[in-house]
Structure 1
Amino acid sequence: MLLFFTSLMMACGWGFMLIKGQTMILELELMTVSSTNFSIMLVVDKINLSFSMVVTLIAGSVFTFAHKYMEEDHNSDRFLWILMAFVISMNLLTFSGSIFFLLLGWDGLGITSFALIIYYQSFESLSAGFQTLMVNRLGDAIIVISTFLFVLVGQFSFISLSDNFTSVGLVLMLSVAALTKSAQYPFSSWLPAAMAAPTPVSALVHSSTLVTAGIFLIIRLSYNVPLSEEVKSLLLFVGAITCLLGGWAATYENDIKKIIALSTLSQLGVMVFSLGLGFPGLALFHLYTHALFKALLFLAAGNMLMATYGSQDIRLMGGIGMAMPFTIIMFNISSLCLVGAPFLSAFYSKHVILEKMVMSSLNLSSMLIMFVATMMTAKYVSRSLKAVSWNKPINSIMAVSSNFYTTFPVTVLGIGGIVSGKFLSMIDLGNLELAYIPSFWGNIINIITVSGITLGLIRGSKVLSNHYLSSMFFLTPVVSMGSKGLAPLVKEMSNLDYGWLEPSFSVKNYHSKFGAVLSDIGVWPQKQSFFMAGIILVFTLA
């Protein structure tokens, strides 16, 4: 309940900032070295408060659901404390105004996400955790390197960035670091692997915390410094490829949690694509709506997993709607939000992004990629709905009694998934972008969506279900086997560390032998002759 109260306080602060139109900055100067100010800055404005409101609302719902989902786990208290540290780290990143405060939340997310992913003690969880940690370390290294450019600027705050060559380089480096955290291509392989974590963790990671941290960082930078054309081109290309990658891979996946994870990958690509088009407010708007209905989708899937004894295969979930009608209704609502069904939350953000794409001077190849990605999204959504709602029962389904811990969070997020698009567009007009396109293009977008739904309802061909598409263009096996190619190099480096580069092993042996000699001198009447003791003493004093 504390998180829900915090979300209410953030909502009140957001409303106050919208009315006043102010920004509060709290800066603590640590020291000044050669005209360079080392400071920690805290920024409070409508963007931070609204984002924190969404994060804490979803976190409160996830914590409520976790009480039921993890009730039979003996270490559930430890799990909840790590999850709380995860939420705190995300809020630190949200309100950060300097690179030091950013690193505090950024590294906190990396460490706590690793601890949550490896919570189930198995080889699969450990492998997924290390893969997530290593990919995120790339972004950490880039951010640490960017501190040298901040020294050239003379400030470590984002507000001090201006439109010069150094600031453009900083924005480029921070954008690349953000792409690793948001699982954009070619850093996408860790996102489906992170499904080894418990379902409440997946609901929090894929909605409003870990994967959205990079998107939020780029949005904050774009409000301070206009993105250069090079950065926009990079974001357009990466966002379009990632959107297609996630949608196409989800079409040939049968694990319900991995389908939802790949749908997150696809929607993150849409947000990055919107940033490449030059509409950060629209990307933030879609981030809010996506966070609410994606958390709803995961919690509904979690209820279904409890009913099917942990089975995650959608082919074995037929007939679950008869046993759990409320859960399947919420699952359908969140799935339709993914497609951008009319008058649901994503309709007000995703369709506007596609309309802005048609209005912009974009090349034909990028436009075709986004249209195909939109069709693939509709295809895997209709395929999963058909498998869960319309197929005949195959596996035995356990009747799960509805209680407060499973019904209340799903209801809260369900209301958010339905009305958040209209509500946010009415309250904050800064996130709303008007698009005027010919009716021809509007009909094309609708036809593409309907075509994808139709393809998903048709039984898939086994010829198309190949490993190339389901493994995200062979990205997953390449990353998994990458350590094998580095093994000989790591072995040689280990030999060098024990040799000339770091002779700690030899020094350690020398000290141990010298210590043994001194010990023998201390007990010389029992073990040594007077002659040997004298020689050793002279040698030591020399």
Structure 2
Amino acid sequence: MLNHFIFFALIIFGYTFILVGSVLSSVYLIEMVFWELGSVSMVFSVLVDYMSLVFIGTVMVIGGSVLIYTSWYMSDELYYKRFVSLVLLFILSMVLMILIPNLIGILIGWDGLGLTSFLLVCYYCNSKSLAASLLTALTNRIGDVLILMSIGFMIVENSWSLYQFTFGETISGLVGLLTFAAMTKSAQMPFCAWLPAAMAAPTPVSALVHSSTLVTAGVYLLIRSFKVISLDPMFMEVLEVLSLVTLCLAGTSALVCLDLKKVVALSTLSQLSVMMLSISLYAPVLAFFHLITHALFKALLFLSVGSVIHSYGNIQDIRMVGGCWSTLPKSMSAMVIAVSSLSGLPFLSGFFSKDLIVDLCYSSSMSLMEVVLVGVGIAMTSVYSLRMIWSSLFSLNMGVSPVMSSDEKLELTFPYLCLSLGALFVGYVLSGQIMGVSQFSGSSNFEIVVLVGAFLLGLFFMWANSGSLQFNLLFLFLYKKSSAFLSMLLKLVRHCFPFLLSMWCLEVVSSQVLAGVSLSLSEKLSSSLDNGWLETIGPQGMMSNLMSVSQNNEQLQKGFFMSCLGGVVSCVLVLFFFVALLF
């Protein structure tokens, strides 16, 4: 109970920070000098503004809710305290990265996230989790190397305070290093294969990783260093193109994916690409706004999906779960709220941020093809979200057994309430702060009312006519007219299934190619070294040489013995012959 009280206090402090950050207009920089040597000094800095307060508050709310949820989800865990300690260390690493504007301090939090994520992803200690954790760690190590190289670039400026720099000229090398380092952490193309693989971790870890900690670190780094990266338009265009490709990749893969948990992971990937797209369009504030709203409803979605998986005996196949509305009403209510906010349903938190970003895309200088890709990518979010809701709530249960455990305790209900509060209202609370620094006003009230009215009218029309004979005959007529087209479309989709399920073959390229090259290289090294010249000059060669010497010695000794014996016999015979002659 004491732990629950501490976690509850963490949630209260988190929402307090969000409210304070929503009205804060000042920026405070606290510095402590450790040592100075000439013009170089080691300074510990803490940056406090509305971004850091709101982000830390979001991490605290999600962290407290996840830790309370953990007491229910992993109640039978033997090493429960060890797991909670790793989660707290994970949260602390993210807080350090948020508060410290110094690039070396950022690297400490960056590496802390990488190390603790490796330990948490491989927590179950099986081959699948180990492979996923290695893929996650190796991909994040690329970002670590790029951050270290960025520190080397910035040493010429006699300071590592990234957020305060106003360079007189563009430093393309530094901009490229920071951009690709952020892309490795936020799983953008071509580094996006590790994010679905990290689903091997326990669900509380997935809720943290995919909402407000590991995957958002790269986006947050680009938001804070926007003054530096915006100096090079070429890398901004590269970021825009790669984020659009990632958006389409995640959406198409989520449409055909059968793993319930992986669908949520792919939705995270698509929303990260939306944030990156906003940064590439020179609107980092909107990217931060969507980062906060997405963190809250995505954590809520992960917890509700984890409850379904846990209640079905760890079954994650979307075809094997269904009819959960009557057995898990609280979890399904939380899932509906989260998916509605993810789809941008009006007046929820996700609507306020996505509406501004869509308005930004349509009013920018993007080409027609890019605008179409943005519209299709965002529309696919609603499609696979509706598919996930329909499969979980209303479809038939195709599994062998029904829900094994449907006891929704207080440790499960309370995190739902805390995160639902953020998924419903935080977007509205922060919209005033964001509107004050953004030139985009979003949709007008009249447009929102028209949109909601059209949505409700469409639902009413479908409900009223779903059982009528005229509606059924019209549907049958349209189906017959379009049957040829539909059959051709189904064949095309069937052929594309393996390609989409493998994330456009990125999973194969990221894991099997690397493993194949390593195994091939090790085989060649083994044949040329262990079974080659090392063996020739080593123990096998020495043994063969010694055997040859011993054989020659044996042959020599055999011949020498026989010749000596023959000589002795001959001498004896000659001696006997002379003795016989004399006597």
**Letter paired with 2:149:** I
- Structure 2, unpaired ranges of 5+: 463-485, 531-537, 539-583
Q: Any conservation in 1 of the 2:22–2:54 contact (CA below 8 Å)?
A: no
Greater CA drift, 171-180 or 12-21:
12-21
Q: Which residue of 2 aligns with 1:24?
A: 28
Cα 1:225/1:397, change in 2 over 3 Å: closer
Q: Which residue of 1 aligns with 2:166?
A: 162
Residue 478 of structure 1: which of 509, 512, 515 is its match? 509
Q: Which residue of 2 aligns with 1:197?
A: 201
**Equivalent runs, 1:427-466 vs 2, <5 Å:** 427-430=433-436, 433-435=439-441, 461=490, 463-465=492-494, 466=497
Task: Give the C-alpha shift of residue 307 in structure 1.
Answer: 1.6
What is the rounded CA distance, in whole Å, between the counterparts of 1:176 and 1:208 in structure 2? 20
Task: Give the C-alpha shift of residue 149 in structure 1.
Answer: 0.9
What is the rounded CA distance, in whole Å, between the counterparts of 1:96 and 1:494 in structure 2? 47
What is the rounded CA distance, in whole Å, between the counterparts of 2:527 and 2:165 in structure 1? 45
Cα 1:412/1:438, change in 2 over 3 Å: closer
Q: Which residue of 1 aligns with 2:544?
A: none
What is the rounded CA distance, in whole Å, between the counterparts of 2:264 and 2:442 in structure 1? 32
- Structure 1, unpaired ranges of 5+: 499-505, 507-542
- Provide, for residues 195-246 of structure 1, a one-character-per-residue CA deviation record: whole Å limited to 9, x for no partner: 0000000001000000000001111111577453123212211111111111
Q: Which residue of 1 aligns with 2:412?
A: 406
Cα 1:73/1:16, change in 2 over 3 Å: closer
Cα 1:106/1:368, change in 2 over 3 Å: same
Matched, 1:172 2:176: yes
Cα 1:164/1:271, change in 2 over 3 Å: same
Is the partner of 1:349 in helix, strand or coil? helix
Structure of higher CA gyration radius: 2
Greater CA drift, 415-424 or 289-298:
415-424
Q: Which residue of 1 aligns with 2:424?
A: 418
What is the rounded CA distance, in whole Å, between the counterparts of 2:434 and 2:356 in structure 1? 16
What is the rounded CA distance, in whole Å, between the counterparts of 1:117 and 1:487 in structure 2? 24
Q: Which residue of 1 aligns with 2:241?
A: 237
Is the partner of 2:162 in helix, strand or coil? coil
**Letter paired with 1:480:** S
Cα 1:209/1:71, change in 2 over 3 Å: same
What is the rounded CA distance, in whole Å, between the counterparts of 2:152 and 2:162 in structure 1? 14
Q: Which residue of 1 aligns with 2:74?
A: 70
Is the partner of 1:464 in helix, strand or coil? helix
Task: Give the C-alpha shift of residue 8 in structure 1.
Answer: 4.0
Task: Give the C-alpha shift of residue 127 in structure 1.
Answer: 0.1
Task: Give the C-alpha shift of residue 32 in structure 1.
Answer: 4.0
Cα 1:391/1:273, change in 2 over 3 Å: same
Greater CA drift, 90-99 or 35-44:
35-44
**Equivalent runs, 1:73-222 vs 2, <5 Å:** 73-165=77-169, 167=171, 169-222=173-226
Task: Give the C-alpha shift of residue 21 in structure 1.
Answer: 2.8
**Letter paired with 1:254:** L
**Letter paired with 1:275:** I
Q: Which residue of 1 aligns with 2:337?
A: 333
**Letter paired with 1:159:** Y
- Provide, for residues 115-141 of structure 1, a one-character-per-residue CA deviation record: whole Å limited to 9, x for no partner: 000001110000000000000000000
What is the rounded CA distance, in whole Å, between the counterparts of 1:278 and 1:487 in structure 2? 44
Q: Which residue of 1 aligns with 2:398?
A: 394
Q: TM-score with structure 2 length normalisation?
A: 0.78
Q: Which residue of 1 aligns with 2:367?
A: 363
Matched, 1:300 2:304: yes
Q: Any conservation in 2 of the 1:191–1:265 contact (CA below 8 Å)?
A: yes
Task: Give the C-alpha shift of residue 303 in structure 1.
Answer: 1.2
What is the rounded CA distance, in whole Å, between the counterparts of 1:325 and 1:7 in structure 2? 24
What is the rounded CA distance, in whole Å, between the counterparts of 1:409 and 1:427 in structure 2? 26
**Equivalent runs, 1:234-313 vs 2, <5 Å:** 234-313=238-317
Residue 487 of structure 1: which of 511, 519, 532 is its match? 519
Q: Any conservation in 1 of the 2:285–2:434 contact (CA below 8 Å)?
A: no
Q: Any conservation in 1 of the 2:348–2:424 contact (CA below 8 Å)?
A: yes
- Alignment size in residue pairs: 494
Q: Which residue of 2 aligns with 1:529?
A: none
Task: Give the C-alpha shift of residue 250 in structure 1.
Answer: 0.5
Q: Any conservation in 1 of the 2:22–2:429 contact (CA below 8 Å)?
A: no
What is the rounded CA distance, in whole Å, between the counterparts of 2:90 and 2:394 in structure 1? 38
**Letter paired with 1:412:** C
Task: Give the C-alpha shift of residue 319 in structure 1.
Answer: 0.8
Is the partner of 2:493 in helix, strand or coil? coil
Cα 1:20/1:204, change in 2 over 3 Å: closer
What is the rounded CA distance, in whole Å, between the counterparts of 1:293 and 1:370 in structure 2? 21
Greater CA drift, 24-33 or 102-111:
24-33
Is the partner of 2:407 in helix, strand or coil? coil
Q: Any conservation in 2 of the 1:163–1:225 contact (CA below 8 Å)?
A: no
Q: Any conservation in 1 of the 2:14–2:59 contact (CA below 8 Å)?
A: no
Q: Which residue of 2 aligns with 1:314?
A: 318
What is the rounded CA distance, in whole Å, between the counterparts of 2:335 and 2:17 in structure 1? 32
Give the root-mean-square deviation of aligned CA atoms: 3.2
Q: Any conservation in 1 of the 2:170–2:231 contact (CA below 8 Å)?
A: no
Cα 1:12/1:411, change in 2 over 3 Å: closer
**Letter paired with 1:370:** V
Q: Any conservation in 2 of the 1:355–1:442 contact (CA below 8 Å)?
A: no
Cα 1:296/1:432, change in 2 over 3 Å: farther
**Letter paired with 1:249:** S
Cα 1:153/1:406, change in 2 over 3 Å: same
Residue 379 of structure 1: which of 379, 383, 395 is its match? 383
